[in-house]
Structure 1
């Protein structure tokens, strides 16, 4: 691969880079005018010309690339990528051997040593997600590594970048055989209909695997469940399989209803016994209050940022108010499953949101369980933002 470009890191950023943080911040580079082409290998030095790290240049949010190695002499080539991916595959062997789970993450970006790249597995098919033009430069090396290391039916990809930072619509198929859709995968025995060629999202968020299992196995039986921002209804399906008396799924997207019906159907569940509603969640909260509706369990898993005609939601600012609306329609001794995938705050701040919402609602609560990312979503302590998922099971006390 090409010769490395030498870059100087500003003194303010040297400490966190030496501490192992793999993200190359856009403000960290002194001679940033030397960065021309994404995918370029870069060598990072401090102002005393001491070597810090080797990485690649790629624009991703506030980042300008990721550290790949702390070894000045390491070559970033096909063998480098294959070594990283081999180790990741070996660490997920327990999932490959689980007949009840055929969808999971096999490579989780900086957690597995290559920021900007994730690879997910769906019953014989792999999906590579690229988060910058810089990492996309190494597509051939990653594809060849997977080909060398493991048998697969086919490879797909998701380009999660463009000048506006949005998903690039394209034919996502790369190599092998094309899947027949829907592709039915399993997660702890729950079946999900998956579409690998249908935009940025395939039909289920794999990072919530442990949470869905907990809802099904421990808390759903006999309960009335409201699932807000429900997407394809995965939490509703888990609750129904766990014996919920009834689930209500609410999402603003028109396609959510057909997708949720499909997920119920592939699990042999009667979707007509449940409510599937296309509506702004905030409108539904007001409706539920007017109709004196109360639920035994309310699931809150909003996007980090969402906009509708009348509402704009930002998790870092608006989550306490969202929780207050959920508290108002949760039965005494009922449960709220509060979730956020926003990477700008951690679990302690999230618990502060919970405390604030219950205090302002004049209610008391008990935290029953907490979850972060499952084992296959590997993270590193040096990059806390990578461990973005926060889920808290909260009991509203009588």
Structure 2
């Protein structure tokens, strides 16, 4: 099927953006809607609605004056109608072409993680590795595959032999498929076995030499937030000589363990999920740290901060890494307000001379937007400065035209 794009969508594809939204579809099968004139917007909407294709179907992209812009896969259910895979006419878009893309992504990591001090990392970052919607994370001998949208679901069975061969050559023995959001089974498990020996529910991996327990069966993302690996190492370095560290939205305690190993005297971890604390405590023990010397609080973070301020508690290292406050562009104003409220509350319990590490994982919030929620007026103090700005690590690459891929912000203030 040939899909005709509006001028705006076509320009984005030429720049290398990998997504075509539904309102960028002008028509299909040789019928292009006019880009101008009265009723053009309504005509485009009708044309886009009339496009009928199954998820995973290969489509060619065209526009006025450009009979071929590229090829992609159609998604029948997502607001992103097409993920763009190719911008050249050869070769064909098939499983062999996708397997070659995956092999290039895997080979790139071979030189980065050749030692055994890091056994968990991202092997394919979807659009950033030019394999849109496909994420593959490695946890030692296990690989977890996650699909964004339904367009690659029909391709999984065809790609599996290629994946098993390429991953097996790198020491991966088992492959699991992550369920889509809300797809957990009756026991809360989100992982389906698709290849190799049975999947463990939990696995201990190493991250820059630090042990980390990962809940593959029920954890967030594919089991762990691998994109914060370098930032956890930064927190470990910042923790030297700190008396009291606070990790907010602590989840499985990655930043907490980093702070403890770095020398923080007492680390307080705050999360609303008590099960996450149990994982964190096992990780503490794996690293030879007694969790009883630290504090694990099951509470709402905002409520905790209010009570901590009332008690007069102060911390000289604080990490704040909340879940995404902006799941959509429409939610952005509300999200910025939530970040400001959070950062105001955090600053009130930060000691003079302390370090604040503030993170955001929302692609709809730019770095400048986020830094703006850490200004003097918000923090109600003028003794802090931005020491460093960080994003995701090298195994989470992005594309120049795909700003959405630069989602992670990690700001260090001191």
TM-score, with length taken from structure 1: 0.90
Unaligned runs of 5+ in 2: 28-47, 328-332
Provide the C-alpha distance between the structure 1 equivalents of 2:21 and 2:244, rounded to a whole number of angstroms.
46
Provide the C-alpha distance between the structure 1 equivalents of 2:320 and 2:194, rounded to a whole number of angstroms.
35
Residue-by-residue CA offset, 1:181-201 (whole Å, 9 max, x unaligned): 431100011111123222554
1:221: Cα distance to partner? Answer: 3.4
Bigger Cα displacement from structure 2, 379-388 vs 55-64: 55-64
Matched, 1:190 2:210: yes
Mapping of residues 251-290 of structure 1, within 5 Å:
251-290=271-310
**Structure 2 residue aligned with 1:324:** 344
**Structure 1 residue aligned with 2:144:** 127
**Structure 2 residue aligned with 1:20:** 16
1:83: Cα distance to partner? Answer: 0.8
Provide the C-alpha distance between the structure 1 equivalents of 2:244 and 2:148, rounded to a whole number of angstroms.
39
Matched, 1:299 2:319: yes
**Structure 1 residue aligned with 2:98:** 81
Task: Call closer, same or farther: CA 1:34–1:147 in 2, change over 3 Å.
Answer: same
Task: Call closer, same or farther: CA 1:128–1:385 in 2, change over 3 Å.
Answer: same
Give the match's secondary structure for 2:401. coil
Unaligned runs of 5+ in 1: 308-312
Provide the C-alpha distance between the structure 2 equivalents of 1:198 and 1:178, rounded to a whole number of angstroms.
16
Task: Call closer, same or farther: CA 1:283–1:306 in 2, change over 3 Å.
Answer: farther
Provide the C-alpha distance between the structure 2 equivalents of 1:62 and 1:225, rounded to a whole number of angstroms.
42
Give the match's secondary structure for 2:354. strand
**Structure 2 residue aligned with 1:374:** 393
Give the match's secondary structure for 1:92. helix
Give the match's secondary structure for 2:413. strand
Cα RMSD (Å) of the superposition?
A: 2.1
Aligned equivalent of 1:178, options 195, 198, 207: 198
**Structure 2 residue aligned with 1:8:** 4
Q: Indicate if the aligned counterparts of 1:128 and 1:156 stay in contact, CA closer than 8 A.
A: yes
Provide the C-alpha distance between the structure 2 equivalents of 1:220 and 1:230, rounded to a whole number of angstroms.
19
Give the match's secondary structure for 1:345. coil
Q: Indicate if the aligned counterparts of 1:339 and 1:389 stay in contact, CA closer than 8 A.
A: yes
TM-score, with length taken from structure 2: 0.87
Residue-by-residue CA offset, 1:334-383 (whole Å, 9 max, x unaligned): 0110000010021122111212554x613331111221010000111110
Give the match's secondary structure for 1:192. strand
Mapping of residues 46-65 of structure 1, within 5 Å:
46-48=63-65, 50-58=67-75, 62-65=79-82
Matched, 1:45 2:62: yes
How many residue pairs get matched? 381
Task: Call closer, same or farther: CA 1:306–1:375 in 2, change over 3 Å.
Answer: closer
Provide the C-alpha distance between the structure 2 equivalents of 1:155 and 1:203, rounded to a whole number of angstroms.
13
Give the match's secondary structure for 1:14. helix
Aligned equivalent of 1:244, options 256, 261, 264: 264
Task: Call closer, same or farther: CA 1:249–1:200 in 2, change over 3 Å.
Answer: closer
1:316: Cα distance to partner? Answer: 3.3
Task: Call closer, same or farther: CA 1:316–1:40 in 2, change over 3 Å.
Answer: farther
Aligned equivalent of 2:116, options 82, 86, 99: 99
Residue-by-residue CA offset, 1:149-179 (whole Å, 9 max, x unaligned): 2312100111325xxxx44545521110123
